[in-house]
Homo-oligomer: A and B are copies of this chain.
Amino acid sequence: MPGRCRGEGGQFRPRWKRGMRFTLRPALLLLLAEGDSHGYELMDQLDSIGFDSNELDSSIVYRHLRDMEEMGFIHSTWDDDSKGPRRRVYQIKEAGASRLCGWLESLDHVRGQIEILQKRYQNIKEQEEKK
């Protein structure tokens, strides 16, 4: 099941899982558009958008959050009332909402690229079968 690609096995070092990261910021912004949250919780919520929390180091998530705060897309406040260690709770800002919209446009273009690749790959496979 994991892979209908022949000859896949072997020594390929997964440069992939890196690179997939560029859906991460839009995903975080979307989650914050759905409601305020903090880093640790966002980590959990991310798997509803197809991220595998096992392969996602928390430092990456926190870094993106701080970067996006620096860029003015989100804003954070400390929550000391909750149990356990204090949480930095993020909320999306106006600039973040419009950036999310822009990123989704870019992602739509990427989706188009992927669909082209899939179609043309199908064509190749069909040609090979005819022979």
Contacts and interface: CB of A to CB of B under 8 A. Distances in A.
Interface in A77-131: 94-95, 97-118, 120-121, 124
B20 A110 contact: yes
Interface string A6-40: 11100010001001101100110010011000000
A94 B114 CA distance: 22
Interface of A: 3-8, 12, 16, 19-20, 22-23, 26-27, 30, 33-34, 48-51, 71, 94-95, 97-118, 120-121, 124
A86 B102 CA distance: 42
Contact of A5 (B27, B49, B105): B105
Contact of A98 (B5, B26, B50, B106): B5
